[in-house]
C-alpha cells in the first residue's frame, strides 16, 4: 500500500514538473525580445540592422499573434475577380482561413510550424509542398506578424527594401503598376515601410510587405507565383481589445 502511494506521488510530481516546464517555455517564448545579437539583425552592415530591429519591434507590438484566446477576423474583398467574404481563425499561432464566393469556395489550415493544408474548389484537401508550401508560409507569417516569433524569425531572411523592389518577379515583361485600394491611397510614400522576406533554406521565392509607419498596420503583400505577380491589399483596419477586423482585397 505504501509503495503504491509513493508511486502515485512520484507520478503526480513528474506531471507537475512537466506542466511547470511547459509554462516556463511558453512564457519565455512570449516574453522573448530580439536584439542585435539575433539573426537576421546581426548579419547586416552598419545601421541597417538597427533600423530593421526598430521596425521589427513596431510590428511585433502591433501584432496579435501573442494572444492566447481564439481570434476571429472577417471581412469582404475580391477573390479570382469575384466578390468574396472571408474569415480567419487564429489560436496559439495556428491558423485556419476560408474564402466564400458565389462559385469558388477555398480554404487552408496551418499547424503553427511548417505544415499547411489547402482545400481546392472541389473540396479535396491536400498538404502543400515545395514552392507551394514556401509561398503560403511566407504569406501566413507576414499576414498576422507571425514572422516576429522567435522560431519563425530564425527561418527567414528579412531586410528593409525600396519601392522599386518587386521581389523575385522573373518575367521579362514589366511588373504591373498597382493602384492603392481604399484608405491606403491616403498614406503618403514617406509613411510607408517595405520589408522583403524569403526563407533561409528555400528556393529564393520572396514576398514584399508594405506597412503604414503611422499605425504599423499591414497595407499590402506582393509575391510572384505561377508566372504572375500577385498583390493582397488590407484596408480599413479597426482594432478591438481582442484583435483586428479588416476589409481585404486580393488580385489572386
From the first residue on, what is the mean pLDDT of each consecutive set of 10 residues in the chain (252 residues)? 76 81 55 71 81 88 63 74 78 69 75 80 80 87 85 89 66 60 81 92 88 90 80 73 45 42
User: Contact 136/126 with Cβ under 8 angstroms?
Assistant: no
Q: Which residue has the cell 511548417?
A: 114
Q: What is the pLDDT of residue 193?
A: 93
Q: What is the pLDDT of residue 125?
A: 82
The three-state secondary structure class of 17 is helix
* Rounded Cα–Cα distance for residues 131 and 129 (Å): 6
Q: What is the pLDDT of residue 157?
A: 92
Task: Report pTM.
Answer: 0.71
Residue 42: which of 158, 196, 205, 206 has the closest Cα?
158
Residue 135: which of 191, 81, 198, 83 has the closest Cα?
198
User: Contact 182/190 with Cβ under 8 angstroms?
Assistant: no
* Rounded Cα–Cα distance for residues 251 and 212 (Å): 20
**Choices 2.20.25, 2.50.20, 3.40.50, 1.10.1740: CATH for 32-169+181-250:** 2.50.20
Q: What is the pLDDT of residue 197?
A: 94
Domain ranges of the chain: 1-31, 32-169+181-250
Backbone angles phi, psi at 130, to 5 degrees: 55, -130
Amino acid at each position: 500500500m505504501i509503495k503504491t502511494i509513493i508511486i502515485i506521488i512520484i507520478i503526480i510530481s513528474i506531471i507537475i514538473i512537466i506542466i511547470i516546464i511547459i509554462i516556463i517555455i511558453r512564457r519565455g517564448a512570449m516574453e522573448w525580445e530580439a536584439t542585435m545579437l539575433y539573426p537576421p539583425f546581426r548579419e547586416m552592415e552598419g545601421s541597417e540592422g538597427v533600423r530593421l530591429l526598430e521596425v521589427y519591434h513596431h510590428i511585433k507590438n502591433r501584432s496579435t499573434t501573442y494572444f492566447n484566446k481564439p481570434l476571429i477576423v472577417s471581412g469582404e474583398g475580391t477573390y479570382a475577380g469575384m466578390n468574396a467574404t472571408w474569415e480567419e481563425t487564429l489560436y496559439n499561432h495556428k491558423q485556419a482561413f476560408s474564402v466564400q464566393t458565389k462559385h469558388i469556395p477555398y480554404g487552408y489550415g496551418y499547424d503553427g510550424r511548417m505544415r499547411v493544408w489547402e482545400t481546392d474548389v472541389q473540396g479535396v484537401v491536400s498538404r502543400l509542398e515545395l514552392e507551394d508550401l514556401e509561398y503560403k508560409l511566407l504569406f501566413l507569417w507576414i499576414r498576422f506578424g507571425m514572422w516576429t516569433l522567435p522560431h519563425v524569425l530564425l527561418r527567414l531572411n528579412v531586410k528593409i527594401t525600396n519601392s522599386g523592389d518587386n521581389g523575385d518577379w522573373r518575367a521579362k515583361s514589366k511588373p504591373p503598376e498597382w493602384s492603392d485600394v481604399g484608405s491606403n491611397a491616403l498614406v503618403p510614400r514617406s509613411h510607408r515601410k517595405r520589408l522583403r522576406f524569403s526563407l533561409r533554406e528555400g528556393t529564393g521565392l520572396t514576398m514584399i510587405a508594405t506597412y503604414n509607419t503611422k499605425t504599423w498596420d499591414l497595407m499590402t503583400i506582393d509575391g510572384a507565383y505561377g508566372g504572375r505577380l500577385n498583390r493582397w491589399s488590407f484596408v480599413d483596419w479597426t482594432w478591438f481589445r481582442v484583435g483586428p477586423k479588416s476589409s481585404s482585397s486580393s488580385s489572386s
